[in-house]
Amino acid sequence: MQAIRSILVVLEPEHSESLALKRAKLIAGVTQAHLHLLVCDRKHDHSAMLGVLKAALVADGYSVTTEQAWEGSLHETIVMVQQAEGCGLVIKQHYPDGALKKALLTPEDWKVLRTCPTPVLLVKTSGSWKDKVILAAVDVGNIDSEHRHLHNTIIDYGYDIASLAKAHLHVISAHPSPMLSAADPTFQLSETIEARYREQCKAFQAEFDVDDEHLHIAEGPADVLIPFMVHKLEAAVTVIGTVARSGISGTLIGNTAEVVLDAVESDVLVLKPQEVEDHLDEIASKH
């Protein structure tokens, strides 16, 4: 996160108290990143509001530029501006869709997560991050190179946020339930699965310097366990990875990151493996 030089902050003109801007100021205050404020609207002129915000931020010592744009849809506009400005992080406030609307349409925030090549911070809360828990969700059982790189990124960002917000990093990893049909009898017993999983976690803990007190291992689906643990620990930020390849293998409905986004009572930072970022970058740069 220290390497991020420019942050794209998506503003909603009808919401005067921008939670996205609040988080962006916190991060830029520590990293000295440039803030690019974006209003996505084709109908109304928001230059006066952007001018007032910019003047206040510049007076507070921030480096700021502003823009109003529209490129067919909200997520397309965000990705277009992210590409043009070379922003390394997108911050946007999350407004949940109703169940009916979600059944008929893919929520715009899901589309942002699927198509944006960079990390996306979706802000859901207004409380301070200070002294709170930052919860990083990893899948320790997956040790292929793509997941290993993603684990690195998730934990790095988790530590970075904990450091800049003076918060505490905890890690959650869900492991599969026993399968009675498994050919290997060790996969039929909860105890053996957990023991094997804890063994894998030991190597992970040693590599990432996570002690037992800050590691939470539980059995079951990640999209149920992550919200449960966020609630239990009163986490301020959930850091999660997604391997959703909308451009590679079609839309992944029910991707864990998307389900978790709507279920947790925290801000959510969504990261992607490098290969996926590169692929999305390639798609975005062609438009």
> Which numeric CATH code is attached to 6-93?
3.40.50.620
* pLDDT at res. 191: 67
Distance from C-alpha of 94 to C-alpha of 215, rounded to nearest angstrom: 28
Residue 200 has pLDDT above 70, yes or no: yes
Distance from C-alpha of 253 to C-alpha of 168, rounded to nearest angstrom: 32
Its pTM stands at: 0.89
Query: Which residue's structure tokens are 């991050």?
Result: 129
Q: Which two tokens stand for residue 145?
A: 């190179």
Residue-wise pLDDT tens digits, 214-265: 999 888 888 889 999 999 999 999 999 886 555 444 344 447 788 888 899 9
Question: Rg for the chain (alpha carbons), in Å?
Answer: 20
Q: Where are the beta strands (DSSP E) in 43-199?
A: 64-69, 89-93, 120-123, 133-138, 168-175
Query: 133-286: what fold?
Result: Rossmann fold (3.40.50)
Nearest to 272 by CA among 239, 229, 228: 239
* pLDDT at res. 67: 97
> In Å, how far from its chain's centre is CA 129?
15
Domain boundaries, the chain: 6-93, 133-286
Q: Which of the 8 DSSP states describes residue 220?
A: S
Residue-wise pLDDT tens digits, 37-61: 999 999 999 999 999 999 999 999 9
Distance from C-alpha of 14 to C-alpha of 12, rounded to nearest angstrom: 6
